[in-house]
Structure 1
């Protein structure tokens, strides 16, 4: 059985707030730890009414304090928004608090729109084109250093696994060149997934961090007792994507019966595309979808996300996913 992990955006539901989102995130992390999930990652997004994990490193201190064994990390930090030294210090702090449990995934997108990106950086000179050099600078801060010059304290001398995240060939190429593990955002941008996997594996250069390619793929799971119930749960995520692509992101809305059936063809086609890497339905349907996906991609690990409105239903979905992964071993 390959490892399976959790990606949680700390969804802010309609009728709820960020405080509830963080309570639910910790409850989910503890649930995932008991179920044997390998990692619990949170992601940096800004100016999104339905996502509470903007201050990702701060949110991870909450998760780390309430768990004991599961790895925790960022999936990811959008590095163009930050000075590499700041991220080295933040994750050096996390590693010092929760030694041996911290991952740092790095992405080159802003995780927001242009207006919020400008508000974060005050200028757009430090943009995605600097991503490779920013990654190199960040990695250097974790190396042992002699006194003098700029130092990340805490940070220097700590072994924190760094991942490259992406949804295009750029990240695959960079991860391969640096000899780092690669996580592909197939849970919402699957179009280039197979090309990116092939490029990464064929171009990989062994490094001090990793001797062979390691691919983790994002995968949506909306699992319930029946296929119909799974489709019902997935409608909250479908609504969120339609709102986002319409330029009007919202809090995560309650599910709607047969939601997609009432959409125009273009929106239904968009949902079919962005949610192509998903398992929706009953335990047998979910197990079959996971097995097919792993066989097709050769994934080394799955990062499962379940953007479900009802928290108890989300916990059940992850429990079904864990049992399904065990059955497909």
Structure 2
């Protein structure tokens, strides 16, 4: 579908800010700042973090605070949310928060929005107190938020201060055709969560491109897809490191909350055949191996989808190995001198 090489498109980072076994959230925050500084030097375009709640292995619940932490530790990379789960928040509060970030770090803040709670139903109730209509009102809430961040209107009874006039770029995030159609109708960029929900990737991209209306600053559709990548100097090392990713998703399908686990020699005995199949289906777009294999698989993904940007998630336990993975990938996206 696409004839663009990896070097022709931007590459970005999704960091779930994992809490490692026997480590603390503070350790995670230090690693996140260090990773952001490295990927900025390696030429990555964006650094996004996602809102999750009540998860023992993820420290990004206060996403807005962490965006400020990372933006303050870097100088040019765009920093944002992948995403803010809008049903958990009043649009005005989000506008004020991101307006503050955009004032502190001009032209560096992205606002990705999702309509899922980012947690279980009980925790969603604790966050919102009332679940009625929250998800159904997502399109109206996106428009309301967009208006708060748009041109200042001195006559408006409710204004986002700071926020108005900042025009923080808004992205719609999704794992189905619902968000794709909404992004298209509103003329916004779209990011698909193919790193954990690959089933509707192609359908969503088609819906987004066909429904796109150039009603704002974006004159043509702009789609990004997130994938998992674990790259190492050898295939064997990458396969070993990937057992952390498999354990994380095994915990997801079992509904067990655990910090990120170190790699193991083999997954045999840790999952049954049904669990293995379920995890592998969720992780369809996971590219694991040495530099040559990962580059070929990423290029094949680009050829297949024609996305305008690729976002990389890397669930690796060892920080140095995680850095190395992002360093290897950065070389694939560098333009030849």
| Change beyond 3 A, Cα 1:69–1:260 | farther
- Whether 1:133 aligns to 2:178 is no
Distance 2:308 2:178 in 1: 20
User: What are the residue-to-residue correspondences of 1:89-100 with 2, within 5 Å?
Assistant: 89-100=96-107
Q: Is the 8 A contact 2:232 2:324 kept in 1?
A: yes
- Tell me the CA shift for residue 126 of structure 1: 4.4
Q: Distance in 2 between matches of 1:41 and 1:321?
A: 17
Structure 2 unaligned spans of 5+: 1-6
TM-score in terms of structure 2 length: 0.95
Partner residue of 1:39 out of 41, 46, 59? 46
Q: Which residue of 1 aligns with 2:109?
A: 102
Answering whether residue 18 of structure 2 is matched by residue 11 of structure 1, we say yes
* Structure 2: distance between partners of 1:175 and 1:285: 33
- CA-atom RMSD, angstroms? 1.4
2:163 pairs with 1:155 = yes
Question: Does residue 1:309 correspond to 2:314, yes or no?
Answer: no
Distance 1:85 1:76 in 2: 17
Give the 3 Å change call, closer, same or farther, for CA 156–327 of structure 1 in structure 2. closer
Higher RCO structure (Cα 8 Å, ≥6 apart): 2
CA distance in 2, matches of 1:40, 1:71: 6
| Matches of 1:261 and 1:312, distance apart in 2 | 28
Deviations 1:179-198 (CA, angstroms, capped at 9, x unpaired): 00000000010000001001
Conservation of the 8 A alpha-carbon contact between 2:184 and 2:221: yes
Verify the 8 A CA contact 2:91 2:141 in the aligned structure 1. yes
SS in 2 for 1:129: coil
Alignment of 1:29-178 (within 5 A): 29-143=36-150, 144-178=152-186
Please list every run of 5 or more consecutive structure 1 residues that lacks an aligned counterpart in the other structure: none
1:257 equivalent among 238, 258, 265:
265
SS in 2 for 1:326: coil
Give the number of aligned pairs.
329
CA, structure 1 residues 131+235, in 2 after alignment: closer, same or farther (shift >3 Å)?
same
Residue 3 of structure 2 is matched in structure 1 by: none
| Kept in 1: contact 2:250–2:271 (CA 8 A) | no
Range moving further from structure 2, 156-165 or 140-149: 140-149
